[in-house]
Structure 1
Amino acid sequence: MKLIKSLTCGIRFGLFAALIAVGPLVPGGNAAAHHGWEWTSGAPFELSGTIEDIYIGQPHPTLTIRSDGNLWEVDLAPVGATTNAGFVEGVASPGDAVTVYGHRSRNESEYAMKAVRVVVGGGTYDVYPERARAF
């Protein structure tokens, strides 16, 4: 009986280890989220629209913005920098008009950008203050 239990535990551990090893290779979800600036164009970009969704959490806060019939995924700074800029839960809601400044994806068929500044509800939130000076 101990041998069977030992083999069962070994198989379970082996499957767990395989999932851990292969998991990061599977695209999708947050594993495929944009990080860094390499995926963005160098040109300044401004987007105005209506907030559809707000997420403040790891790996970084995001806004989903409807503009000209398209849904844009807008990455903000890491949670600490975003909340230190004052962009916290409650300052904006779905349905609010918003303008974001930053850099769009190099792939122009992708509706995605990284924001350095968010303007909503009479407030301006420089989530990347050192980069926002250019706007």
Structure 2
Amino acid sequence: MACLTRRLFTASLVPIVLAPTAVLAHHGWSWTTGGNIELTGVITSVKLGNPHGVLTVDAGGEVWTVEVGQPWRNSRAGLKDGDLAEGVEVTVHGQPSAEPDHRLMKAERIIIAGTLYDLYPDRS
């Protein structure tokens, strides 16, 4: 019985130990290429909040998922929630996914109607 209890306890720890690793792997920068690209398109959907906001952007028929900053980071850059809205044309500078087939990028700078919003001024 003690052996079974120990196995169940050990098995229950696996998700607790691995979950932070999975979160850090995605929410850091390790999943990106490390190089920057520029993407211009129209926002087709918006989800703002923690741990970061997510935009869907149609760039000439290619649909991209663009991670923007956390609410505090967007605010610090001067963005208001209404700035990132469906139908708005954006130019995004950031790092694309290291997976070539993924249309996913992490935004560092966003330009809307000629105004630059620098989400990561410390990365310049």
TM-score bracket, shorter-length normalisation: 0.7 to 0.9
- Of 13, 30, 33, which residue of structure 2 is paired with 1:38? 30
The within-5 A match list for 1:96-135 is 96-131=88-123, 133=124
Residues 84-131 of structure 1 show CA distances to partners (whole Å, capped at 9, x for unaligned) of 111121123211111000110000100000010000133211111112
Question: Which 4+ residue blocks in structure 1 deviate beyond 6 angstroms?
Answer: 23-26
Residue 95 of structure 1: aligned partner: 87
Which has the larger Rg? 1
1:84 aligns to 2:71 (yes or no): no
Instruction: Check the 8 A contact 1:91/1:121 in 2, yes or no.
Output: no
Report the Cα offset of residue 79 of structure 1: 2.0
Residue 68 of structure 1: aligned partner: 60
SS where residue 117 of structure 2 aligns?
strand
User: How far apart, CA to CA, are the structure 1 residues paired with 2:115 and 2:47?
Assistant: 18
User: How far apart, CA to CA, are the structure 1 residues paired with 2:94 and 2:101?
Assistant: 17
Residue 11 of structure 1: aligned partner: none
Structure 1 residues without counterparts, runs of 5 or longer:
1-17
Report the Cα offset of residue 22 of structure 1: 5.5
Distance 1:120 1:35, change over 3 A: same
User: How far apart, CA to CA, are the structure 2 residues paired with 1:64 and 1:120?
Assistant: 15
Residue 12 of structure 1: aligned partner: none
1:59 aligns to 2:51 (yes or no): yes
Report the Cα offset of residue 24 of structure 1: 9.4
Identity rate, percent: 37
Report the Cα offset of residue 25 of structure 1: 7.3
User: How far apart, CA to CA, are the structure 2 residues paired with 1:34 and 1:78?
Assistant: 14
Between 83-92 and 36-45, report the one with greater CA deviation.
83-92
SS where residue 60 of structure 1 aligns?
coil
